[in-house]
Chains A and B, each alone.
Chain A
Amino acid sequence: AQTVTQSQPEMSVQEAETVTLSCTYDTSENNYYLFWYKQPPSRQMILVIRQEAYKQQNATENRFSVNFQKAAKSFSLKISDSQLGDTAMYFCAFILYTGTASKLTFGTGTRLQVTL
């Protein structure tokens, strides 16, 4: 079974600063995808960034980037130039590539507070 661990329950960062959220996962499989989702106070889950395990290049989406270390099974999220609107719960998620519908396995989340 796959597991996802987020070891930082809460983090705080000042506006315009950079913050990194950690995520590790455990799997014996080789073909999978990793995601970061953001859940603001509205509780809508919003996809932030995705990474295919077969790609060595780290994914980037504007101010969001990941550091994907496949051998270490690590998938951290870096938020640059933090904004007040980044305040939210952030969930790391894992999904196996099976060619059919399958579940996302989520971590327990990191609550990020961006302050002035």
Chain B
Amino acid sequence: DGGITQSPKYLFRKEGQNVTLSCEQNLNHDAMYWYRQDPGQGLRLIYYSQIVNDFQKGDIAEGYSVSREKKESFPLTVTSAQKNPTAFYLCASSIDPGRSYEQYFGPGTRLTVT
């Protein structure tokens, strides 16, 4: 079945540690995105990538980094510089944005930093 996978579902880290969240898609989508969701808020864009080896900052990129070495994969690293890393993180993908703007989401990763 085609889809987007994020692992793990729950992640716990100590403050001061970097942590990498996985996102893989087998939909052959060109663009991939990372959003953050906090209680009582909608999703906010962290980073996005339209093609391999290219990515752009979103609204809240500070303290995060990404890579896009393969079309299928778009990992997100939450660095120790991110002041409030505890949140729910959602990865999404979309087919060629020139054809369709629908974004499809993975199941998410809940990150807790203590």
Contacts and interface: CB of A to CB of B under 8 A. Distances in A.
Q: How large is the interface on A (under 10, 10 to 19, 20 to 34, 35 or more residues)?
A: 20 to 34
A42 B60 CA distance: 25
Chain A contact surface mostly: loop
B95 to A, nearest CB: 11
B107 A44 contact: yes
A101 B48 contact: yes
A50 B35 CA distance: 20
Given A101-B33, A101-B97, A91 B43 contact: yes
A112 to B, nearest CB: 15
A45 B88 CA distance: 12
Interface string A1-32: 00010000000000000000000000000000
Contacts of B31: 101
A97 B56 CA distance: 17
Interface of B: 30-31, 33, 35, 40-45, 48-50, 56, 58-59, 88, 90, 92, 94, 97-98, 101-105, 107-108
